[in-house]
Amino acid sequence: MDEIFKQQVYEVARLIPKGRVSTYGAIAKAVGYPNHSRHVGKAMGGCPEDVPAHRVISSSGTLSVPEFQKKLEAEGITVENLRIKGFKKLFWDPMDEL
């Protein structure tokens, strides 16, 4: 995977506010690769500790990594059956917010 792509993904993910979530697809679109959400997922799998990977979820509002539930709940996000409650309201779209 291209190192520049990964760094761009990490930079966008670092901007997701506490208590909000974004999606792999939204981040892929924000870095100029709208059809590369899986690549964003792969990049997030090995991201540095200062990247809030727990705030990046699937477009259906479902957690891809169940272990992230505790981190999200610590930020005030309700998770039921691995789904973000009120996902649409909590969704942070980098294309609109940057």
Please give the tally of structural domains in the chain: 1
Is 96 among the domain residues? no
Condensed to tens digits (0 to 9), the pLDDT of residues 52-93 reads 999 999 999 999 899 999 999 999 999 999 999 999 999 999
Kindly state the helix (H) or strand (E) to which residue 90 belongs, with its residue range. helix 87-90
The reply to whether 98 falls in a domain is no
Report if residue 94 sits inside a domain.
no
What's the CATH number where 17 sits? 1.10.10.10
The average confidence (pLDDT) of the chain is: 96
Q: Is residue 74 part of a domain?
A: yes
Q: Domain range holding 18?
A: 3-89
Q: Compute the distance between CA of residue 15 and CA of residue 51 in angstroms, rounded to an integer.
A: 9
